[in-house]
C-alpha cells in the first residue's frame, strides 16, 4: 500500500511537471531561434562577416537540440512547428544571400517571420507566468530577443518598416517593450541579491538606450549598437538567472 501511494505521488509529480518542462523547452528553443535569426541578418547587414555566420550556426544547432527534446515531451506542438522549422534551420540559407549580394530572399524572410510569430503565439498561450524569478527573467530575455530579431529583419529589408504586413503583427513592439520595462522593474524590486540587482539596473539602462531603435524601426543604421547592447543584456540576465538557480 505504501509503495502504491509512493508510485501514485511520483506519477502525479511527473504528470504536472510535463507541461512545465515542455514550456521551458519551448522557451529555450524560441530564445536560441531568435538569437540565430538576429545573427543571420547581421551576417547580411555586415556583408558577410563570418563571425555572425559562426554564431548563427552555433545557436541554431542549440535551437534544434531543444526542438528535438520538445518532440519527445510535446509531440503535438513539435509537429505544429515542424513544417516551417524544417525550412529555416539549415545553414544553406546563407548560400542564396551571398549570391544575391547579401539580400535575403523574400521567401526566407517570410518563413522566418512566420516562425517567430508562431513561437510567440504559443508562448503567450502557455501557462508560464510568474512561476519563479528565474523564469520571469527568461521571459524578459525572450521578449528582448524576439523584438531584436524583428528589428534586424526590418533593418535588412530593402523596404524597411514597409515590409511588415498585417499578418506579421503577432509581435507588437510597443506592447512588448512596455512589458520588458515593467517586468524588469518588478523582478529588480523582488530580488535580494546585490549582484543580481546591479545586473538588472544595468539591463534597464541598456534597454532604455536601444528601446527607441528597436520599437520605431526608423534608425536602421544603429544595428551594430543594438546588437552589442542586446547581447550584453542577454549575458547579464543569464548571469542573474545562474545566480538565482544557485542560491
Each residue's pLDDT tens digit, 163-185: 665 555 567 888 889 989 998 99
pLDDT at 98: 84
C-alpha dihedral (48, 105, 116, 82), degrees to nearest 10: -110
pLDDT at 132: 82
Distance between CA 245 and CA 2 in Å, rounded? 33
Rg (CA), the chain: 19
Q: 221: which DSSP letter?
A: G
Distance between CA 45 and CA 122 in Å, rounded? 29
Distance between CA 127 and CA 181 in Å, rounded? 21
pLDDT at 164: 65
Residue whose grid cell is 535588412: 156
Least confident of 9-13, 76-80, 108-112, 200-204: 9-13
Q: What is the separation of C-alpha 242 from the centre of its chain, rounded to a whole number of angstroms?
A: 18
For the chain, the average pLDDT equals 83
C-alpha dihedral (67, 72, 74, 78), degrees to nearest 10: 40
Interacting residues of 66 by C-beta distance below 8 A, sequence separation 6+: 25, 28, 29, 32
The C-alpha angle 46, 111, 225, rounded to 5 degrees, equals 30
Amino acid at each position: 500500500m505504501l509503495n502504491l501511494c509512493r508510485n501514485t505521488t511520483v506519477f502525479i509529480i511527473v504528470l504536472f511537471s510535463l507541461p512545465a518542462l515542455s514550456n521551458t523547452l519551448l522557451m529555450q528553443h524560441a530564445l536560441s531561434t531568435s538569437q540565430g535569426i538576429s545573427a543571420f541578418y547581421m551576417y547580411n547587414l555586415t556583408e558577410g562577416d563570418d563571425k555572425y555566420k559562426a554564431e548563427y550556426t552555433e545557436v541554431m544547432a542549440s535551437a534544434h537540440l531543444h526542438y528535438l527534446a520538445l518532440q519527445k515531451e510535446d509531440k503535438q506542438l513539435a509537429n505544429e512547428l515542424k513544417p516551417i522549422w524544417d525550412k529555416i534551420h539549415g545553414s544553406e540559407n546563407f548560400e542564396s544571400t551571398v549570391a544575391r549580394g547579401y539580400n535575403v530572399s523574400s521567401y526566407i524572410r517570410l518563413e522566418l517571420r512566420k516562425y517567430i510569430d508562431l513561437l510567440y503565439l504559443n508562448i503567450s498561450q502557455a501557462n508560464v507566468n510568474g512561476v519563479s524569478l528565474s523564469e520571469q527573467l527568461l521571459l524578459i530575455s525572450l521578449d528582448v530577443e524576439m523584438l531584436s530579431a524583428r528589428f534586424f529583419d526590418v533593418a535588412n529589408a530593402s523596404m524597411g518598416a514597409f515590409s511588415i504586413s498585417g499578418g506579421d503583427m503577432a509581435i507588437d513592439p510597443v506592447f512588448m517593450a512596455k512589458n520588458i520595462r515593467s517586468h524588469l522593474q518588478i523582478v529588480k524590486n523582488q530580488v535580494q541579491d546585490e549582484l543580481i540587482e546591479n545586473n538588472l539596473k544595468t539591463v534597464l539602462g541598456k534597454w532604455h538606450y536601444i528601446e527607441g531603435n528597436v520599437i520605431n524601426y526608423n534608425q536602421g543604421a544603429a544595428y551594430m549598437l543594438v546588437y552589442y547592447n542586446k547581447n550584453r543584456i542577454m549575458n547579464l540576465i543569464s548571469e542573474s538567472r545562474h545566480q538565482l538557480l544557485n542560491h
